[in-house]
Chains A and B, each alone.
Chain A
Amino acid sequence: MSTSTIDRLEGSRRAARAAASERAVSRAEGWRRRGPLLPALVFTIIVTQLPFLVTIWYSLRAQNLLRPGEDLFVGLANYVDIAADSTFRQTALNSVVITLGCVLVAMVLGIVLALLLDRPFAGRGVARTMLITPFLVMPVASSVLWSVALLNPTYGLLNWAIGLLGIEAVDWTSTFPVVAILMALVWQWTPFMMLLVLAGLQAQPKDVLEAASVDGAGPWRTFTSITLPHLRRYIELGVLLGVIYVVNTFDQIYLMTAGGPGTASANLPFYIYQRAFLGFDIGQAAAMGVVVVIATIIVASAALRLIFRSFEVKE
């Protein structure tokens, strides 16, 4: 008997065994497998999905916590109000500007820093530790730090620094509120991007880089035609995760500008918070929440396809 016949026999026996085990997997096994998953799944559904269903219900009612007796079904009236609400549109635009501005600037800075850190030099670990620290500072603490210690118009450090250059003091949080918030956000998120890109750089196959240098490719050529394509997956992941987190920014806005002046620097989370907890307008706030979720789903379904590719999720 030749070895290939043995292989084939062995193979068909294995296939038969697999088919048998597949049948056995069926019911009991199915539940035994699902068992460990169910507590987490049920918990997540109850805590995250039920409240959202309630949000949809509230969005169809006129309810104000300041007037407890009043609770009417108003159909889509809350949504019609939102469509006519120019503040809602402005805060939606602010959300986009703040999110994209922060993620893109942080990513560019993060790439630069990651490239700088990917070279061997004395004290590299210390430099890296210093660079990741902004991400570890409690966001509430960093908002306080930026608004009071760094951007304060009279004793803030930034005004003192530009004063040395002969530029007059600026009241950052009221004159350029979005810029002030972006400064604090970019400072916090650059280390995040840097860490992801750095991990990408360090996962680069060294032999490919060597081959490129043997073939006479200069550093720029190597960067654009080898390193950047390799980094693509890491950059996409960083942008995606960054957007997920930054779009929900609340702490910096609440503490640095309170959305002001007026609503100039309010994003959607902050505006909805104002309507719900300062205006006690439950119906309106709920309807805005629903609109935000729908918008998120549209953006997220595209993003999720990307994330699945990055994570190489397989059945």
Chain B
Amino acid sequence: MSADTRTSLRPARGRATGGVLTTLTWLLALAFFFPVAWMAATAFKQENQAASDPPTWFFSPTLDQFRAVIEGGSGTYVANSAIATGVSTLLVLLLGVPAAYALSIRPVEKVSDVLFFFISTKMLPVVAVIVPIYVVAGQLKVLDNIWTLVVLYTAMNLPIAVWMMRSFFLEVPGEVLEAASVDGAGLMRTMRSVLLPMVAPGIAATALICVIFAWNEFFFALNLTASRAATVPVLIVSTMTSEGLFLARLCAAALLASLPVIIAGWVAQKQLVRGLSMGAIK
């Protein structure tokens, strides 16, 4: 075989492998996505179609299950989740952004010790502190109180926010800050009109990560709430235990509960990577 034919064969073979790889990619993507699609499809079924053997593939979709979930008193749970997620995320930013500033732009001494401390609290297993938190919350009469969850979710997300925001502050070019101080801008003005606008995308990414973790949190919510402060994950579990056989309704509830985070994650895929790596990966 001459060298010529070999080189002309190459692109054809490359295209064939490319086709195989692309097909494989789609198959895997469909496989990973399938359980979510199945959950969504089941939510639109009647109960007898949802739990059928063999599975029902074709059906006329109904909104009955969604109606049952929404009208079945899910309002309190959603409101509690919204408060716990929203307020804790706000608190995390209020505490975390200045802290990150003090660990990057105008650093305190022993920056790496402080960073080490923050990250080490993420490694402290939650189960190791749940007992005293439960007992003390009981003595303070703040069990089944949504503000208890707000405080705990703030502590849970604060280390992530500090690390993430620090990585965004470190990206602000030094010349910008120098220029601001030469212009005589004070600390607050530099912060407000120069620094914050530059790290705004970082703040958004940090908020997204905090919202995901707080919205999905279950362990504290299970152990520290009962009827008044219970959040959405608790609602799903109680639906499962009380109405375990109502698979379609369960799927509708699970889908509705997951949708806010799914949509936020789809929209902000780039920020997601940075947030999940706590700012290490740009």
Query: Which residues of A come within 8 Å of B, CB atoms?
Result: 30, 33-37, 39-41, 43-44, 47-49, 51-52, 54-55, 58, 65, 112-113, 116-117, 119, 121, 123, 126-142, 144-146, 148-150, 152, 154-155, 157, 160, 187, 190-192, 195-196, 198-200, 203, 234, 237, 241, 244, 247-248, 250-251, 254-255, 268-269, 272-273, 276-277, 282, 285-286, 288-290, 292-293, 296-297, 300, 303-304, 307-308, 310-311, 313-315
Does A269 lie within 8 Å of B125, measured CB to CB? yes
Does B280 lie within 8 Å of A237, measured CB to CB? yes
Q: Which of A141, A160, A288 has the most CB of B within 10 A?
A: A141
Total interface residues in chain B, CB < 8 Å: 101
B122 is an interface residue with CB less than 8 A from chain A: yes
Assuming the contacts A51-B136, A293-B124, asked whether A134 and B35 have C-beta atoms less than 8 A apart, the reply is yes
Which of B30, B212, B257 touches A140 (beta carbons < 8 Å)? B257
Q: Is the interface of B mostly helix, strand, loop or mixed?
A: helix
CB contacts (< 8 Å) of A273 on chain B: these are: 127, 130, 219, 223
A-B contact pairs, 29 of them (CB 8 A): A33-B102, A34-B102, A48-B121, A51-B133, A119-B21, A121-B22, A129-B269, A130-B29, A131-B28, A131-B32, A131-B33, A132-B266, A133-B32, A135-B265, A137-B36, A137-B261, A140-B254, A141-B258, A160-B53, A190-B32, A241-B277, A248-B126, A251-B233, A269-B127, A269-B219, A277-B134, A288-B127, A311-B163, A315-B107
Which of B26, B29, B109, B218 touches A139 (beta carbons < 8 Å)? B218
Assuming the contacts A43-B154, A145-B254, A150-B38, asked whether A255 and B112 have C-beta atoms less than 8 A apart, the reply is no
Does B98 lie within 8 Å of A37, measured CB to CB? yes
Does B269 lie within 8 Å of A44, measured CB to CB? no
Does B276 lie within 8 Å of A139, measured CB to CB? no
> CA separation between A203 and B134, bound complex, in Å?
45
User: In angstroms, how far is the closest chain A Cβ from the Cβ of B245?
Assistant: 9
Does B155 lie within 8 Å of A44, measured CB to CB? yes
Does A244 lie within 8 Å of B55, measured CB to CB? no
CB contacts (< 8 Å) of A51 on chain B: these are: 129, 132-133, 136
> CA separation between A198 and B274, bound complex, in Å?
12
Does A289 lie within 8 Å of B131, measured CB to CB? yes
Assuming the contacts A47-B155, A157-B55, A237-B277, asked whether A244 and B123 have C-beta atoms less than 8 A apart, the reply is yes
CB contacts (< 8 Å) of B109 on chain A: these are: 30
Does A37 lie within 8 Å of B35, measured CB to CB? no
> CA separation between A128 and B177, bound complex, in Å?
38
Assuming the contacts A157-B55, A289-B129, asked whether A40 and B162 have C-beta atoms less than 8 A apart, the reply is yes
Does A144 lie within 8 Å of B106, measured CB to CB? no
Does A289 lie within 8 Å of B281, measured CB to CB? no
User: In angstroms, how far is the closest chain B Cβ from the Cβ of A150?
Assistant: 6
Pick the 5 closest A-B CB pairs, nearest first. Answer: A36-B98, A289-B128, A141-B254, A40-B99, A54-B132
Does A113 lie within 8 Å of B251, measured CB to CB? no
Assuming the contacts A141-B257, A157-B38, A237-B281, asked whether A244 and B122 have C-beta atoms less than 8 A apart, the reply is yes
Q: Which of B53, B55, B115, B264 has the most CB of A within 10 A?
A: B53
Does A55 lie within 8 Å of B132, measured CB to CB? yes
Does A148 lie within 8 Å of B95, measured CB to CB? no
> CA separation between A203 and B101, bound complex, in Å?
27
CB contacts (< 8 Å) of B82 on chain A: these are: none
CB contacts (< 8 Å) of B35 on chain A: these are: 134, 142, 145-146, 149-150, 187
CB contacts (< 8 Å) of A251 on chain B: these are: 218-219, 233
> CA separation between A119 and B24, bound complex, in Å?
12
Assuming the contacts A47-B151, A149-B38, asked whether A272 and B127 have C-beta atoms less than 8 A apart, the reply is yes
CB contacts (< 8 Å) of B129 on chain A: these are: 48, 51-52, 55, 289
